[in-house]
Chains A and B, each alone.
Chain A
Amino acid sequence: MKKKVLLMGKSGSGKTSMRSIIFSNYIARDTRRLGATIDVEHSNLKFLGNLTLNLWDCGGQEAFMENYFASQRDHIFKNVEVLIYVFDVESRDVERDMHYYQSCLEAIMANSREAKIFCLVHKMDLVQEHQREKMYEERCRELRTRSEPLKIETFRTSIWDETLYAAWSTIVHALIPNIRTLESHLNNFCSICDADEVVLFERSTFLVIANAARINHIDAHRFEKISNIIKQFNLGCSRSQTHFKSMEIKGSSFTAFIDVLTNNTYVMVVMSDPSIQPAATLMNINVARKHFEKLAEP
């Protein structure tokens, strides 16, 4: 199943940077090396085996933009499943950004009515901390009114922290067709194991696909932080030419297991009951593997 994802936004807003971090294992610092994208860069990203993201990274320089709306209009905006529009929060010329955004929406409306639209207010790290909330709220409100009648979802992001993972996880979540079944099976798994929480990650990007919890956790951003940490660790592993397969982290009040589940996923199981032996949990993960593999098949 191929899904077309458009990544658009003004030149220099950080589209290619975020794509490189999420899908090509760049670290934030490395994105400085990236130059401007010329025209459209296509990439096919295999995700969960049967799902392929066909990502169109559209260069944002004005000459290209004009081109997209004119001669390439049909080519670009046909059959779009998801539009991701990136705004640079520091941009001086907000009016022009909005103008392009609206042209983009018009084209989407005309060619792919069903497309989901996500707006990322990017480079939030450049805004002073106490102003972030206010600034983001303002931008959101404006974007919502400008996007009428289409429904949009907005995120504040930065490549320097976990917000990028949060946004992309939500986007990917919207793309997975059998997400409901996956979630309910994960819930079952969680209750059979007596786990506090079970989280499913995509294997190469470490984006969160689904989670099941039996307790409420205070930190809403924990998954993205974990994604970020594990991914760094994974990069560290690949530098020494090994791959990490599983790990077990023992804290004073909990044990967390991270293990390969299917060909395309990792699972994290958090246990806090000391009477349950680690070997039992590992065995349960092992046993669940086949079941989830069956689920992942088309």
Chain B
Amino acid sequence: MLKPKVISQVLRQASTNGINAALLMNAGGSLLAFAAPSDREARIYAAIAANLWSTYLKSSNSDAAFRNEKQEDDLRLLILPCEEGVVAIAAPSITMLVCLVGDKSVDLGMLKAKIEAVSRHLSEPLEKVASYQQ
């Protein structure tokens, strides 16, 4: 089981220096915990991020199948520079996604390092939880 409040704290640690929002959601885009200026924003970010992730995942899978490669090495990290900022999405476990949303000032290397750190930190407990879910 997860303590939602503890996860929020972890996410809050990541949301510094230009990172506006840090979210943990399930693959469907429902928020589990977040650190963001408002509920509304967090929900919108989560929905868009989950949608993007699933779209890329699908295409990467079909691409791998097309080239007769194994599907194990699928999508790990997405970094999307947008008009008003930059988004990074990663999957700490099969059923979960983390997402960081930063403004333009954020350096991509820093963003990548941060999301990898958060993802690695959460992956063990989340894997454990996933193994209990049917």
User: Contact size class for A?
Assistant: 10 to 19
B111 at the interface (CB under 8 A from A): no
Residues of A within 8 A of B4 (CB): 194, 275-277, 280-281
The stretch among A38-46, A156-164, A283-291 that forms the contact with chain B is A283-291
- Mask, B16-32, CB within 8 Å of A = 1, is 00000000011000111
Q: How many residues of B contact A (CB 8 A)?
A: 18
User: Which of A189, A284, A291 has its CB near the most chain B CB atoms (within 10 A)?
Assistant: A284
Distance of A23 from chain B, by nearest CB (Å)? 29
Residues of A within 8 A of B26 (CB): 279, 283
A192 touches B129 (CB 8 A): no
A275 touches B1 (CB 8 A): no
- Mask, B89-107, CB within 8 Å of A = 1, is 0000000000000000000
B44 at the interface (CB under 8 A from A): no
B1 touches A279 (CB 8 A): no
- Mask, A268-298, CB within 8 Å of B = 1, is 0000000111111101101111110000000
Which residues of A line the B interface, CB within 8 A? 189, 192-194, 275-281, 283-284, 286-291
The 5 closest A-B pairs by CB, nearest first: A279-B30, A280-B4, A280-B32, A287-B132, A276-B4
Subset of 29 A-B contacts with CB under 8 Å? A192-B2, A193-B1, A194-B3, A275-B5, A275-B8, A276-B5, A277-B4, A277-B30, A277-B31, A277-B32, A277-B33, A279-B25, A279-B32, A280-B2, A280-B31, A283-B2, A283-B32, A283-B129, A283-B133, A284-B2, A286-B133, A287-B1, A287-B2, A287-B129, A287-B132, A287-B133, A289-B134, A290-B134, A291-B132
